[in-house]
Structure 1
Amino acid sequence: MTLDEKALQLHYEMQGKIEVVSRKPVCTREDLSLLYTPGVAEPCRVIAKDESESYRLTRRSNLVAVITDGTAVLGLGDIGPVAGMPVMEGKCVLFKEFGGVDAFPICVDSKDVDTIVQTIHLISKSFGGINLEDISAPRCFEIERRLKEICDIPVFHDDQHGTAIVVAAAMLNAMKVTGKKMGQMKIVINGAGAAGIAIGKLLVQMGFGNIILCDINGMICEGDAGLNAEQEKVSHITNLHHEKGTLADALRDADAFVGVSRPNMVTKEMVASMNEGIVFAMANPVPEIMPEDAKDAGAAVVGTGRSDYPNQINNVLVFPGIFKGALAVHAREITENMKIRAAYAIASLIPDAQLSAENIIPSALDKTVADVVAKAVADVAREDGVAGI
């Protein structure tokens, strides 16, 4: 059987990958009275007087909503909210398995930004955090921005920020392996959607150097016509020398490439033109260039989104720990400093003595990562003044 056939068979057998499990058995009349009526009235009264007590008296303190409208599901595109449900369930499994965080999938049957924002805001009191997932750009930017303005719990679009954080972590270690210097790098990102823009912003904030974003038309430059609002914003802090041209032009003498675009966008000749390049070709399942081709062309370090090659750059290293740390201190938001510290925390898990061209990032199956990330995030939440406790 192929992987697709095995996955389909498993899903038919399981009929869902998550379930609700009671944390307290109901075996006696007293159990019933304490967990439900009449005893449950007392915690209700306490919460009515002080809403923050909901974090101590309900599961809200460890519960994340994983929410999609089904418009940008994996590599499948706009398949609708119901068809996106298997991915949302899978995300919830990863939250629990890797971070011990309870998560619940919610699929919103609307493409209207106002409706989506209102729906999520109205249910937000049930959760300690909101993880937005598989929402198409550029709508995803506005949805996240507006929710962050009106919600008092963290709102995190993983396709943007989870990707950016794990790429930054891998880049920190790839930079050490290659001897490249912070602040002096030329990094080319292909794909100027949600992930590409978020990666570009974070790498700029961390001070890696000159970041150049490319889309289907080539290099994005300040003043270009036809940019959407988010591309226009990021154009002011990227492509510092206002270069014009194709992806091939951008990669000439570049120190690193980050691909969040489509298969086979990069040739061996492009890699050969780089400056002993770091190549993160992350399109899935077929990357922008296959790792063996990138290495043949002279790439110094290669990473992909795939599990069958070294250096898998996977968001599962990020979101369980981000939310675990934020929930632990009842954070009101995920700040930029929390993202940056998370990237450094992930990178730190590979000691310098163990760094190599094929070992720049922890395994996606390493369940120790979430605790390290969570501590870093919780510490910064307190430093930034966004922690509730």
Structure 2
Amino acid sequence: ISNGTAVLGLGNIGPEASKPVMEGKGLLFKIYADIDVFDLELNTTNVDEFVTIVKALEPTFGGVNLEDISAPTCFEIETRLKAEMNIPVMHDDQHGTAIISGAALMNACEIQGKKLDKIKMVVNGAGAAAISCSKMYLSLGVKKENLVMFDINGVLNTERADLDDIRRVFATERKDVHNLADAMKGADVFIGLSAGNVVNAAMLKSMAKNPIVFAMANPVPEIDYDTATAARKDIIMATGRSDYPNQVNNVLGFPYIFRGALDVRATAINEEMKIAAVHAIAALAKKPVPEEVNLAYNITNLKFGRDYIIPKPMDLRLISEVSSAVAKAAIESGVARKTITDWDVYAEELRNRLGGNDKLLRNLTSKAKQDPKRVVFAEADTYKILRAAQIVKDEGIATPILLGNINRIKAIMRENDLDLEDVQIIDPKEGTDRFEDYAQFLYKKRQRRGITLLEARKMMADRNYYGACMVEFGEADALISGLTKNYVTTVKPALQIIGIENGVNRVAGMYLMITPKGPVFFGDTTVNVNPSVEELVDITVLIERTVKQFGIDPRVAILSYSNFGSNEGGVPEKTRQTVKALHQKYPDMVVDGDMQANFALNTELLKDNFPFSTLNGKPANTLIFPNLESGNIAYKLLQEIGGAEAVGPILLGLKKPVHVLQLGSSVREIVNMITIAVIDAQEKARAQNPKSTSKRK
């Protein structure tokens, strides 16, 4: 709700002109927190009239976000509405900036080695945002006697007779400060919520060691970023702009604060809830940054430090971290009318609000974390692999083992600030304690297939062979490779050393496709070129078993260009015979065909035309293709045109876990495959020792 009297960068433009801004704000609520918003622009500047109108709307709305209302009337409006209404009311221009900059200040002080109760602070600006920010800083520990504030008329001191009650609180007793330059001498922190270009390099040079400067005027900050960082190499600088590091952006706060408040039916947004948001935002900045955030901002490796003191707006973890903290504070402070008891379930509900397509991946990640395994990487001399290794290490998904040139690996780690110093690194080419044992093993296994001992030693210098031996000997639980090599080159060593699991006739490849309608499994997409009926049966059994391991009840469609005998010979006949064999051998399997893909996925279409099908009721979630080309083409089309996320290729049928990456996989895709490999290792360990429940430490 706004009257358009203080629109950012535009000033008092009135309610009509402010409407597009309010509509945009409403979109941010929906996009970031799934909150439905209706923007209201009131044609009044009278406080009593404004308050009366808003109060009368209380039965319709769950909360009120006051927006772009000029000071000092905004203070009175918010105070009165909070006192007289029983739904959350917040003036974001005040508190949003205060919350985000408060989190930034906490982290900046930690990095710069400063204590909040010791810092000397200069605040340039005395409007709604500046007043609210200053109050927040005092709540966080800043001492009032260490804060000096300026407005358009100069320093706020006890000799000023023109100060209202709100600003008089921040009047300083210092007699040595006559202008901004005086105040900046020896100051630890500068907070700018005023106008552009009011600070110069000389002022920054007069500040204390390791200064903190938040120049938040928009669109032109109080001092240009490049000028500031050139003047002080030891500075931590934040602005309100997205084209520089450390953007203080209210979107990090208001969507999630209201989300948490609404979810517990809070009667207000109180100080406890705002402080909880500050601490949640500050804490999130210290956690490893998801790769999708790095990609969104075209940054190699975001990490807590001078250029990253608060999270980025595109970090999807904000909704679960901040909203949960706010909701918990509301409950603990007594303003919640609804209690949450299972916070893990609530966090999952919050994540699902932002799309939920990757719910299965989150579940798989949680499963992997329950019993992390040792994963060896055959191509550890590449940035993507090392970045993925860091992510799974930090998140507790896996313990990485790195294969490759040690000097090159360490150089990549240094260049990209990757923290993998405690991870085991092995270069098979330099010889290891196990090198000869592995070579002898390969020689004995393949000596009657034309491999000499000398050749076995040469082959063991290949990291795919060495890594496969580590898995075979139990010195690693899974192998990941294939980022820079073709599929066959990577699979061949695994087949020669580890081999196919007992009771299985062949290996197969599967892709997990994450779609807006849920997960769908595709096979075979990578191994068997033109499988026979017998081979299709084996492939289906392998894939159906794996889908169950993912916690999903498989509904299998054997695909063709025919529907239940509508065409004869060739592919239709092969798929029909496959279905017949599956029904005979595995009567409990939910499988049908031959059928076209649209019938497999469209329950109404299938019911109307083929009501006898065993798949009626729910769409198929496991699609078996008649040959490699159709499966491979289908998953790539769905990935590129349909926008589905492809997880794979998942290699099925080996005795021990080896998984081959798609050539050129992204870091996120690699992390997903590591997660799959860990779960595969868990399942194989459970199958070998079903009574064991111990976890590797």
Shorter-chain TM-score tier: 0.7 to 0.9
Q: Give the RMSD, CA atoms, in angstroms.
A: 1.4
| Amino acid of the structure 2 residue aligned with 1:213 | M
Distance, in Å, in 1 between the alignment partners of 2:164 and 2:18 is: 26
Matching residue within 329, 346, 353 for 2:281: 346
Contact 1:99 1:371 in 2 (8 A): no
Equivalence for 1:100: 34
**What is the TM-score with the length of structure 1 in the denominator?**
0.80
Instruction: Provide the aligned length of Structure 1 versus Structure 2.
Output: 320
Q: Does 1:218 align with 2:151?
A: no
SS at match of 1:102: coil
| Amino acid of the structure 2 residue aligned with 1:386 | V
Determine which structure has greater relative contact order: mean sequence separation of CA pairs < 8 Å that are 6+ residues apart, divided by chain length: 1
Equivalence for 2:194: 261
Equivalence for 2:506: none
Matching residue within 204, 213, 216 for 1:271: 204
| Amino acid of the structure 2 residue aligned with 1:167 | S
Equivalence for 1:320: 255
Evaluate the alpha carbon distance shift between residue 364 and residue 115 of structure 1 in structure 2; reply closer, same or farther with a 3 A threshold: same
Contact 1:168 1:203 in 2 (8 A): yes
Matching residue within 112, 133, 140 for 1:199: 133
Equivalence for 2:305: 356
List structure 1 segments (4+ residues) > 3 angstroms apart after TM superposition: 239-244
Moved more, 210-219 or 257-266: 210-219
| Structure 2 spans left out of the alignment, 5+ residues | 289-302, 339-697
SS at match of 1:105: coil
Q: CA deviation at 1:249?
A: 1.1
Matching residue within 71, 77, 83 for 2:5: 71
After superposition, residues 156-235 of structure 1 pair within 5 angstroms as 156-209=90-143, 210-235=146-171
Contact 1:317 1:370 in 2 (8 A): no
**What is the TM-score with the length of structure 2 in the denominator?**
0.45
Q: Does 1:388 align with 2:334?
A: no
Distance, in Å, in 2 between the alignment partners of 1:305 and 1:240 is: 31
Distance, in Å, in 1 between the alignment partners of 2:160 and 2:269 is: 31
Contact 1:138 1:228 in 2 (8 A): no
Q: Does 1:250 align with 2:250?
A: no
SS at match of 2:31: helix
Moved more, 160-169 or 350-359: 350-359
Distance, in Å, in 2 between the alignment partners of 1:300 and 1:269 is: 14
| Structure 1 spans left out of the alignment, 5+ residues | 1-66
Equivalence for 2:680: none
Distance, in Å, in 2 between the alignment partners of 1:96 and 1:248 is: 43
Q: Deviations over 1:102-130 (max 9, x none)?
A: 11100000010111000000012111110
Distance, in Å, in 2 between the alignment partners of 1:384 and 1:240 is: 35
Moved more, 292-301 or 103-112: 292-301
Equivalence for 1:330: 265
Q: Does 1:153 align with 2:87?
A: yes
Evaluate the alpha carbon distance shift between residue 106 and residue 267 of structure 1 in structure 2; reply closer, same or farther with a 3 A threshold: same
Q: CA deviation at 1:217?
A: 2.5
| Amino acid of the structure 2 residue aligned with 1:222 | T
Q: Deviations over 1:130-150 (max 9, x none)?
A: 000000000100000111111
Equivalence for 1:35: none
Equivalence for 2:667: none
SS at match of 1:128: coil
Contact 2:148 2:170 in 1 (8 A): no
Contact 1:267 1:289 in 2 (8 A): yes
Q: CA deviation at 1:241?
A: 4.8
Evaluate the alpha carbon distance shift between residue 141 and residue 242 of structure 1 in structure 2; reply closer, same or farther with a 3 A threshold: farther
Q: Deviations over 1:154-182 (max 9, x none)?
A: 11000000010000001111111111112
SS at match of 2:17: coil
SS at match of 1:344: helix
Equivalence for 1:120: 54
Equivalence for 1:9: none
Distance, in Å, in 2 between the alignment partners of 1:373 and 1:154 is: 16
Contact 1:117 1:146 in 2 (8 A): yes
Matching residue within 60, 70, 73 for 1:136: 70
SS at match of 2:39: strand
Q: Identity over the aligned pairs, expressed in percent?
A: 49
Q: CA deviation at 1:243?
A: 5.5
Q: CA deviation at 1:199?
A: 0.4
Matching residue within 277, 284, 288 for 2:218: 284
Q: CA deviation at 1:258?
A: 1.0
Q: Deviations over 1:332-360 (max 9, x none)?
A: 11111111111110010122783211011
Contact 1:212 1:220 in 2 (8 A): yes
